[in-house]
């Protein structure tokens, strides 16, 4: 599979109305974001004050269900090597919608996976690389009693045809029935990426990066999935708040 075919949608990104209709029919899950202020946001469903639906986005061809229970995903457990790059502390705050409030959701399984500074994914084969057996920049964590899951990773690199992104999947515990599964992607402000990618080890790849507004997948809801990293040590920290509604 060519790199520029990564994340080719297997369906369209759902609108809020489509998500609600689908949930009513299947009884799975709805992803939303807590406003934090407790106020109803302009585009929030009137029946769910304080939360707004997040767009689902394609899983892409590079998801591998490694079952790697670890917070620090920078290393490759097969040989102990650590991927270089600007550190990124990524924190998910997961809630469930209960009446008009967002309540912390414990026990949700969150997977993340993304490319390294050269635009390469682990444990997959592509015309430009063969990383089968490698497991860097992959892992999952389970949300704690406060609905929080934390990861240590690196700022992603880039590859042809895609804006810089991190994939994530939120699933119910294997024992939960009925279960849920929601997949989407996280993005970064282009100006911040310009700064990070101007430094080693990213700079060696050169120019040619696809910017957010040039990415067809980003254009279908990516602005609602933007991280806002803040400086932390020699890297950055970012928090992403989401809420899940079971129906």
Residue whose token pair is 């990618």? 197
The fraction of the chain above a pLDDT of 70, given in percent, is: 77
Per-residue pLDDT tens over the stretch 81-103? 999 999 999 999 988 877 777 88
pLDDT(29) > 70 = no
Q: Is the pLDDT of residue 21 over 80?
A: no
CA distance 153 to 168: 13
pLDDT value, residue 104 = 86
What predicted TM-score, i.e. pTM, was given to this entire model?
Answer: 0.83
Q: Which residue has the tokens 């406060």?
A: 146
By mean pLDDT, which of 96-100, 132-136, 141-145 is the weakest? 96-100
pLDDT at 223: 94
* Mean residue pLDDT across the chain: 82
Q: Report the pLDDT value the prediction gives residue 166, as an integer from 0 to 100.
A: 98
Q: What is the predicted pLDDT for the residue at 131?
A: 97
**Contact, 167 vs 113, CB < 8 A?**
yes
For residues 141 and 148, give the distance between their C-alpha atoms in angstroms, rounded to a whole number: 9
Whether residue 1 has pLDDT greater than 50: no
Is residue 6 pLDDT above 70, yes or no? Answer: no
Give the pair of three-digit tokens for residue 166: 């991190």
pLDDT at position 152 over 70: yes
CATH tag for 3-246 (out of 2.60.130.10, 3.40.50.720, 3.20.20.370, 2.40.50.140): 2.60.130.10
């Amino acid at each position: 599979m060519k790199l520029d075919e990564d994340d080719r949608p297997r369906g369209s990104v759902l609108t809020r109305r489509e998500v609600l209709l689908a949930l009513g029919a299947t009884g799975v899950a709805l992803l939303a974001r807590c406003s934090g202020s407790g106020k109803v946001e302009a585009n929030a469903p009137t029946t769910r004050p304080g939360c707004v639906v997040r767009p689902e986005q394609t899983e892409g061809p590079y998801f591998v269900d490694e079952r790697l229970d670890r917070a620090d995903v920078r290393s490759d457990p097969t040989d102990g090597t650590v991927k270089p790059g600007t550190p990124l502390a990524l924190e998910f705050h997961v809630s469930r919608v209960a009446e008009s409030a967002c309540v912390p959701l414990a026990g949700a399984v969150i997977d993340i996976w993304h490319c390294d500074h050269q635009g390469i994914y682990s444990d997959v084969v592509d015309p430009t690389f063969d990383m089968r057996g490698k497991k860097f920049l992959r892992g999952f964590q389970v949300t704690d009693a406060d609905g929080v899951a934390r990861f240590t990773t690196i700022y992603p690199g880039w590859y042809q045809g895609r804006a810089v992104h991190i994939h994530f999947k939120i699933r119910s515990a294997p024992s939960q029935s009925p279960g849920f599964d929601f997949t989407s992607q996280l993005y970064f402000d282009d100006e911040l990426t310009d700064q990070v990618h101007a430094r080693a080890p990213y700079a060696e790849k050169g120019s040619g990066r696809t910017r957010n507004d040039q990415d067809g997948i980003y254009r279908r809801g990516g602005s609602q999935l933007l991280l806002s990293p803040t400086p932390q040590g020699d890297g950055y920290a970012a928090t992403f708040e989401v809420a899940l509604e079971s129906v």
